[in-house]
């Protein structure tokens, strides 16, 4: 089996490439990544250690499309991890996000059509309505911790606004469905929330768990921004190994279970606020930082997101196995191991 992983030098893509290469017998894994992020080179080095070839290409260009068409072996499966995941960047540079996310999907679907490939698309929880989510808590005092847990499933409103980033991902989902209808391409769409774990070198809206840890390790002041600056925004955290094990299970059953959309996240047991995450980071690093408050809330920010995993469990009997404290600890160990290299890159 030849598996193509676009975005393969990112955190999720590189972790998946290595995981699948080790666990799927007789598999060949290749990646595509333009290495535009500084930390991509660390992941590229990891791929080399496992003899996984990366094509340094921009997936949104015709040149990339032609290069991928020239691969002589049939591509059996595409796992699309390619994205510019920054919600805030999508406000400042919508064209970049459009090209990185939606135009790249179109090119990959052309490759899938030519090769008759199956496709697993890594989408996002940001396809859901910002206003509808935030309105779940209109009577909540943001100074206090939330006491109720609401799990968000696949049927939740996708009414605008969803952010320009969310728009490109939702549009990609619809594009995949159209190609499936016309060319009988089997697909799975996984809407992930926050993913973390060993090997993540994150930034504010592209891996905030590892970024929070990095700031504590290096004693860099932190900011609670938005919703009064109290740090009570909540997200659920999924471990990268839980994600990889699920993808492997989906690959093994894709001939029978396909053309479906799933929400996948850490769930209620792995939900954490920024303030609670700070406590975890203080305990593990033994560093207590000063923090600043910024009251102003971005119009793309969410007060809350916790995933309902009911559908994914019903199809695969998949459950979250890594607990939040373990995820944070393993992310910390990864940052410490790569601290010297990261200081030159971040």
Specify which residues 123 forms β-bridges with. Answer: 191
- Phi then psi for 264, rounded to 5 degrees? -140, 125
- DSSP 8-state secondary structure symbol assigned to residue 4: E
For tokens 């809206």, name the residue. Answer: 205
CATH number at residue 139: 3.40.50.720
> Which residues contact residue 340 at a Cβ distance below 8 angstroms, ignoring those fewer than 6 apart?
none
What is residue 206's predicted lDDT score, i.e. its pLDDT?
66
What is residue 62's predicted lDDT score, i.e. its pLDDT?
86
Domain hosting 23: range is 2-200+239-266+306-321
Contact 110, 59 (CB under 8 A): no
Quote the CA–CA distance of 274 and 296 in Å, as a whole number.
16
How would you write the pLDDT of the chain (346 residues) with one tens digit per residue? 999 999 999 999 999 999 999 999 999 999 999 998 888 888 999 999 999 999 999 998 888 888 888 888 999 999 999 888 788 888 888 888 888 899 999 999 999 999 999 999 999 999 999 999 999 877 666 766 777 789 999 999 999 999 999 999 999 999 999 999 999 999 999 999 999 999 998 665 568 899 999 999 999 999 999 998 999 999 999 999 999 999 999 999 999 999 999 999 999 999 999 999 999 999 999 999 988 999 889 999 999 999 999 999 999 999 999 999 999 999 999 999 988 888 776 6
> Which residues contact residue 92 at a Cβ distance below 8 angstroms, ignoring those fewer than 6 apart?
none
Domain assignment of residue 56, yes or no: yes
What is residue 345's predicted lDDT score, i.e. its pLDDT?
66
Domain assignment of residue 234, yes or no: no
Contact 266, 309 (CB under 8 A): no
What is residue 92's predicted lDDT score, i.e. its pLDDT?
83
Domain assignment of residue 216, yes or no: no
> Do the bridges between strand 271-273 and strand 234-239 make them parallel or antiparallel, or are there none, so unpaired?
antiparallel
What is residue 205's predicted lDDT score, i.e. its pLDDT?
54
How many structural domains compose the chain? Answer: 1
Quote the CA–CA distance of 164 and 101 in Å, as a whole number.
11
Domain assignment of residue 218, yes or no: no
Domain assignment of residue 53, yes or no: yes
Domain assignment of residue 331, yes or no: no
How large is the angle between the packed helices 11-23 and 40-49, nearest 10 degrees? 10
What is residue 139's predicted lDDT score, i.e. its pLDDT?
65
Specify which residues 31 forms β-bridges with. Answer: 5, 54
Reduced to 3 states (helix: H, G, I; strand: E, B; else coil), residue 115 is: helix
Q: Closest by alpha carbon to 1, among 110, 151, 117? A: 117
What is residue 91's predicted lDDT score, i.e. its pLDDT?
83
Domain assignment of residue 120, yes or no: yes
Q: Respond yes or no on whether the N-terminal peptide bond of residue 161 is cis (omega within 30° of 0).
A: yes
What is residue 141's predicted lDDT score, i.e. its pLDDT?
65
Domain assignment of residue 157, yes or no: yes
């Amino acid at each position: 089996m030849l598996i193509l992983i676009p975005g393969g030098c990112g955190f999720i893509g590189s972790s998946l490439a290595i995981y699948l290469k080790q666990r799927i017998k007789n598999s060949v894994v290749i990646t595509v990544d333009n290495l535009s992020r500084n930390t991509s080179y660390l992941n590229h080095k990891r791929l080399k250690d496992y003899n996984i070839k990366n094509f340094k290409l921009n997936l949104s260009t015709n040149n990339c499309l032609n290069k991928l068409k020239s691969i002589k072996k049939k591509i059996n499966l595409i796992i699309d991890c390619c994205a510019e995941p920054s919600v805030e960047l999508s406000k400042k540079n919508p064209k970049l996000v459009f090209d990185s996310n939606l135009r790249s999907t179109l090119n990959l679907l052309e490759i899938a059509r030519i090769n008759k490939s199956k496709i697993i698309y890594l989408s996002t929880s940001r396809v859901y309505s910002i206003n509808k989510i935030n309105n779940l808590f209109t009577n909540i005092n943001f100074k206090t911790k939330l006491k109720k847990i609401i799990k968000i499933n696949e049927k939740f409103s996708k009414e605008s606004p969803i952010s320009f980033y969310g728009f490109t991902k939702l549009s990609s989902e619809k594009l995949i469905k159209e190609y499936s209808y016309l060319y009988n391409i089997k697909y799975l769409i996984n809407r992930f929330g926050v993913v973390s774990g060993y090997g993540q070198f994150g930034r504010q809206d592209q891996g905030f768990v590892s970024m929070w840890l990095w700031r504590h390790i290096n004693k860099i002041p932190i900011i609670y921004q938005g919703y009064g600056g109290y740090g009570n925004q909540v997200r659920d955290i999924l471990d990268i190994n839980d994600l990889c094990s699920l993808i492997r299970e989906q690959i093994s059953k894709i001939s029978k279970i396909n053309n479906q959309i799933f929400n996948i996240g850490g769930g209620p047991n792995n939900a954490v606020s920024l303030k609670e995450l700070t406590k975890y980071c203080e305990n593990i690093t033994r560093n207590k930082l000063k923090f600043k408050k910024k009251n102003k809330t971005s119009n793309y920010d969410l007060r809350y997101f916790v995933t309902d995993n009911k559908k994914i469990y019903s199809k695969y009997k998949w459950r979250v196995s890594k607990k939040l404290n373990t995820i944070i600890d393993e992310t910390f160990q990864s940052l410490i191991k790569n601290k010297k290299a990261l200081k030159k890159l971040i």
